[in-house]
Amino acid sequence: MSEPVTRTFLVVDMEKSSSRENEELPVLRRQLYTMLHEGITAAGLLGGLTVTEDRGDGVLVIADASVIAVLSKLTQKLVDELSRYNATVDPPAWLRLRIAIHSGLVHRDPRGWSSEELTKTFRICDLPEAKETLSAAHRAQAIVIVSDHVFGTVVKHGYSKLPKDSFGEIKDGVAWAWVPGYLSPPVPAAVPQAVAETEPLSRKRDVTNSVSGTVTGNVVQAGEIGQVDARNYFRGPR
């Protein structure tokens, strides 16, 4: 196995690509690759500093660059180019993207790249919370998702004028997001779970406890025992 190297990962995925017709997808893919090229150029990452792998309705970019360069330059340019393209089409036809960023060690073999940190990047891109937030952001072009690690080490410090105050946590301890054009991500409120009835068993109509006798300390000297529901008298500690 080759020695691992440190890289920054960027995963881009089209929203609701499965609802697109076959003739639409090649057009959108061509636009996406054009936007990514502009972003890579703006970040100064030409000349073999990035590797791209196609994902059908998305792209993986592995960059030999800092998270700051990828997040503040490449990603910002990608969002800008996306806005320019969407200005030329009606809102129902907008191309909207989920953009996920993480970094860490990765191995390369003859078939490609692999590591736990790379897998994490795909997972935060596919979080239901990320999809739901973009769906709720009707005016948005994209959602930018970063790992908790990237937020804590880069974003929250405001490097390169990153809009740290516009990021919000979408999954506790896992991911944060920024929705360009919004002061904070419009994260949908969680649906409260129904509260189960907690009536004590001793109050239920079909439960009867009947003990007669003399009580001494904790001992019952029973003369007659009717019906005893042990669930009420012999519960363990809660």
Tally of domains within the chain = 2
pLDDT digits (tens, 9 = 90+) for 50-66: 999 998 889 999 999 99
User: 47 pLDDT exceeds 80?
Assistant: yes
Contacts with 42 (C-beta within 8 Å, 6 or more apart), sequence order: 73, 74, 76, 77
145 and 225 part of one domain: no
Q: Is residue 216 part of a domain?
A: yes
Least confident of 39-48, 77-86, 214-223: 214-223
User: 137 pLDDT exceeds 80?
Assistant: yes
Which residues span the domain enclosing 215? 201-233
41 and 105 part of one domain: yes
pLDDT digits (tens, 9 = 90+) for 156-169: 999 999 999 999 99
What is the residue-averaged pLDDT of the chain? 83
Q: Pick the closest to residue 36 from 47, 46, 25, 26 (CA basis).
A: 46
pLDDT digits (tens, 9 = 90+) for 65-78: 999 999 999 999 99
Q: Are 36 and 78 in contact (CB under 8 A)?
A: yes
106 and 216 part of one domain: no
14 and 129 part of one domain: yes
Lookup: tokens for 162: 């990153």
The residue among 133, 163, 178 that closes a domain is 178
128 and 208 part of one domain: no
Q: Is residue 193 part of a domain?
A: no
164 and 216 part of one domain: no
217 and 170 part of one domain: no
- Average pLDDT of the residues in 176-190: 91
Helices 24-42, 75-86: crossing angle, 10 deg rounding: 140
174 and 207 part of one domain: no
Contacts with 136 (C-beta within 8 Å, 6 or more apart), sequence order: 186, 187, 188
131 and 213 part of one domain: no
Q: Is residue 238 part of a domain?
A: no
User: 238 pLDDT exceeds 50?
Assistant: no
